[in-house]
Structure formats: C-alpha cells, structure tokens
Amino acid sequence: MGESTNAYASTHPGGASQEAADAAITDDFELAGVPDSFQRLWTPYRMAYIKAGQDQVKDEESCPFCAGPTRSDEDSLIIHRGKTAYVILNLFPYNPGHLLICPYRHVPDYTDITAEETAEMAALAQKAMRVLRHVSRPTGFNLGMNQGVTGGAGIAAHLHQHVVPRWAGDGNFFPIIAETKAIPATLGDIRVDLAAGWAELD
C-alpha cells in the first residue's frame, strides 16, 4: 500500500502535498484488532444473547434473576445467598467462574438500590474475588455493570454486577475467529467448587 501511495504522490499533480496534509491530521491509532495497550475480552458469540435477551424478560415472572432464588442452589447455580443480594454463576460466561451479583429486588438501575443493597453487593464482589483467587488462582479480574440495553446489558430489567476472573492468555483466537469459547469444566462442577470455597473462607 505504501508503494502505490508513493507512486500516486509522485505521478499525480499535488499528490505529495495531499499526502503531507493527510499525515498532519492522522493519528497513529491503528485498526481494531491491532495490539495496543488495552486488554480486550472479545466475546462476539454473546451478541445473539444480548439482542434476544431483552424480549425474554417482560416482568418479574419472566425474569431469570427473580426466578433463580426460588429454586435450589444447584438448579440455579447459586453460590451464596445474602440478605439483600445473592451470587450466581453466569449461564453465558466470558470465562470459567464468571459470577453475577444480583439484588433480590427486580430493579434495573444502580441508582434504584438502597444503601444496604449497595453495601452488600460491594461486600459480595470483594468476597467473590477472594473465593475465586482461593479456588482457581486468576491473575486479574473485570468487574462491572452494564446499564441499559445500549450499555450492553443482556438483561437490562434486573440489575446485576459481573465479576469475571482473568488469566494470562485467556483471550485467544477461539472466541475471536471461531466464535467459540473453551470452558474447561461444567457449570455444575464450577458451582460446587466455588460454593465449597465460599464456605471455607466463611
């Protein structure tokens, strides 16, 4: 591409000056996918879930985060039940051990929860990190809340916080090229290990 640009610049009237003008207003940021200082957890396979998920939750009766606590911990993949919030495995995980912290109340926004709920969710996030370190030795974490459909929330109607364990090299070509994520254990086995780890640290 450089050769053709130079050929154009040398043979086309004004080409060299146009090239210089372009260079003056062009930064050195490269195309998406070129390595830079950011670590990205590419999960294109989740887009179908994000797009379809909103229509599946009409009210509290159809909300999986409201239904979860009504079933057994094993059936719902619940790790811990607190007073105002609980910890559950993500059914569509970014990585093994991807946890969600949910208030029991069916509220959509972080500003909707009480001070007590806020404090317990924060404490559960800290405990979740300790348990994950104890059980599976991650070297990093992503924590966050996707607010609203445009914010990327898979289920925007019920607030939930993500706790995603990270390991060096966990973002490989599988999810990027093959749209496949390798999860080396069943969700049931992961739940058993994390629930046991939670009890140990209690």
Q: How many CB atoms lie within 10 A of CB 98?
A: 20
Taking Cα atoms as reference points, which of 160, 164, 147, 153 lies closest to residue 51? 153
| Count of beta carbons in the 10 Å neighbourhood of residue 78 | 19
Taking CB atoms within 8 Å and a gap of at least 24, the contacts of 174-179 are 175/42, 175/43, 175/44, 175/45, 176/33, 176/42, 176/44, 179/44, 179/45
Is 106 a catalytic site residue?
Answer: no
DSSP state of 118: H
Instruction: From the candidates 98, 158, 160, 162, give the one annotated as an active-site residue.
Output: 160
Q: Which residue in the block uniquely carries the two structure tokens 């058993």?
A: 192
Show contacts of 15-21: CB within 8 Å, 24+ apart. Answer: none
Name the residues annotated as catalytic.
Answer: 160
